Amino acid sequence: MVTPPHVGLIYDVFSDYQWADNDPPDADAEFEPPETVDVLAEALRRCGTEPVRIGPARTLHEQLCAGRSLDAALTIAEGQGSRNREAHAPILLELAGIPQWGSDALTLSLTLDKATTKDLVVRAGLETPAWTVFSGAASISEDALPAPFPLFVKPRYEGTSKGIIPASKVDTLDALRDEVDRQTTLYQQDVIVEAFIEGGGEFTVAVVGNDPPRALPVLQRAVEPATGIGVHALERRGAPNREWDYTIPGTLSESLETRLCRDALRIYQKMECRDVARLDFRVDADGTPYFLEINPLPTFAPDGTFAIIAELMNRAYPDLLAEVLAIGLSRLGIHPLSDVVPCTDGVSLAEL
């Protein structure tokens, strides 16, 4: 009997977060519910592997030191404590010589830094809202602003919309100083202040695969009508629990979807992502897409982006997820069972 490959599953669930007294209320928002780990484990089994649930990076370190052996590993661990936190598990795996599904430590650290990512996107010839970085409110003046109001403020090294509240969209210099002060004090890091793009809606593009990567169907996101901020950002874990009104501005035309997919694929390749990522865009009133962020550690929660895409494609989520995981497993030399093939849905750059 052939022993299935053992694939370590590295993850943070909400109960793994180690709270400090001065942490913001959404400090654990990037962590996952147990259901995400369950669906990933099931997808790995469908691929013919044996999932080994490890837990967070610190547990991985302990088990590796104790002699834990793995054929490969898949990490969705966000970590905590530094701008390199998403790289903690990948670095441990690299040191141990364990092949890793997904992007490597360098890509994960680069993409968590919104300012560095925007620099690289501009060098690739793509649009992103004009921005600047502030380390505190004292340095803010009219001359230092990246664009006319309205502007948008967000932490430089956070994901899952951490720090964003309705007041993060600002229309005056005083409001900007207040919001920069709030975020830098609460999150103890620089903030990005960027032009707020309005008029054409907000969209998300999931990209999977390598050689070539492929963009899956584009999702259009609801926004809160009073501020224009994406509802998903206001509804994150740790945010005030309320029902938000929403609207869905703009139209996802065939030409816009083509442009969004093309830009997403070019950014995915520029950042040297592997296997999967999710990219967010805003579109202005003239129909021009502006890149916001890329996340090579997207959620695989049963109610997240990939589950919604599976529903749009009339696919069972566990089936699509197994095919997405099969992409990286094949790259690592772990070939899935014959009834699970690497995902070939979506479009490549050559097809656009």
Q: Where do we find the tokens 């990490």?
A: 75
pLDDT single digits (tens) 317-340: 999 999 999 999 999 999 988 789
Average pLDDT, integer, range 66-72: 97
Rounded Cα distance, 62 and 39, in Å: 25
Average pLDDT, integer, range 105-117: 98
Domain that holds residue 136: 130-195
Average of per-residue pLDDT values in the chain: 96
pLDDT single digits (tens) 240-249: 889 999 999 9
Q: For strand 199-208 and strand 151-155, is the pairing parallel, antiparallel, or unpaired?
A: unpaired
Rounded Cα distance, 112 and 162, in Å: 12
Type of residue found at 67: G
In contact, 194 and 147? CB cutoff 8 Å: yes
pLDDT single digits (tens) 146-196: 999 999 999 999 999 999 999 999 999 999 999 999 999 999 999 999 999
Could you tell me the two tokens for 106?
């360098």
The number of domains in the chain is 3
Residue 268 shares a structural domain with residue 142: no
pLDDT of residue 336: 86
Rounded Cα distance, 32 and 282, in Å: 26
Residue 216 shares a structural domain with residue 343: yes
Please give the C-alpha separations between residue 100 and each of 11, 13, 73, in angstroms, as whole numbers: 13, 20, 5
Q: What is the CATH number of the domain that holds 149?
A: 3.30.1490
Residue 186 shares a structural domain with residue 209: no
The answer to whether residue 113 sits within a structural domain is no
The answer to whether residue 240 sits within a structural domain is yes
Residue 95 shares a structural domain with residue 27: yes
Average pLDDT, integer, range 63-77: 98
Where does a domain end: 195, 219, 235?
Answer: 195
In contact, 169 and 228? CB cutoff 8 Å: yes
Residue 230 shares a structural domain with residue 180: no
The answer to whether residue 112 sits within a structural domain is no
Residue 218 shares a structural domain with residue 319: yes
pLDDT single digits (tens) 132-142: 999 999 989 99
The answer to whether residue 217 sits within a structural domain is yes
Where does a domain end: 195, 212, 242?
Answer: 195
The answer to whether residue 125 sits within a structural domain is no
pLDDT single digits (tens) 252-298: 999 999 999 999 999 999 999 999 999 999 999 999 999 999 999 99
In contact, 60 and 79? CB cutoff 8 Å: no
Give 1's pLDDT tier (boundaries 50, 70, 90): low
Task: Answer whether residue 216 shows pLDDT above 80.
Answer: yes
Q: For strand 6-10 and strand 50-55, is the pairing parallel, antiparallel, or unpaired?
A: parallel
- Left, alpha or beta for 229 (phi > 0: left; psi -120 to 50: alpha)? beta
Residue 147 shares a structural domain with residue 164: yes
- Left, alpha or beta for 335 (phi > 0: left; psi -120 to 50: alpha)? beta
* Residues sharing a CB contact under 8 Å with residue 312, sequence separation 6 or more, in sequence order: 217, 219
Task: Answer whether residue 2 shows pLDDT above 80.
Answer: no
pLDDT of residue 339: 87
Task: Answer whether residue 39 shows pLDDT above 80.
Answer: yes
Alpha carbons within 13 A on the beta-carbon side of 136: 4
Where does a domain end: 195, 213, 245?
Answer: 195
Is the whole-model pTM more than 0.95? yes
Residue 206 shares a structural domain with residue 342: yes
Residue 188 shares a structural domain with residue 68: no
The answer to whether residue 140 sits within a structural domain is yes
In contact, 164 and 170? CB cutoff 8 Å: no
Please give the C-alpha separations between residue 293 and each of 7, 112, 204, 205, 206, in angstroms, as whole numbers: 29, 9, 10, 11, 12
Residue 208 shares a structural domain with residue 186: no
Total Cβ atoms within 10 A of residue 221: 20
Total Cβ atoms within 10 A of residue 317: 21
The answer to whether residue 121 sits within a structural domain is no
Torsion of CA 222, 24, 178, 161, to 10 degrees: -20
Task: Answer whether residue 61 shows pLDDT above 70.
Answer: yes
For 72-107, give the secondary structure using H, E and C: EEEECCCCCCCCCHHHHHHHHHHHHCCCEECCCHHH
Task: Answer whether residue 81 shows pLDDT above 90.
Answer: no
Residue 210 shares a structural domain with residue 97: no
Give 126's pLDDT tier (boundaries 50, 70, 90): very high
The answer to whether residue 181 sits within a structural domain is yes
Q: What is the CATH number of the domain that holds 332?
A: 3.30.470.20
Q: What is the CATH number of the domain that holds 31?
A: 3.40.50.20
Residue 237 shares a structural domain with residue 284: yes
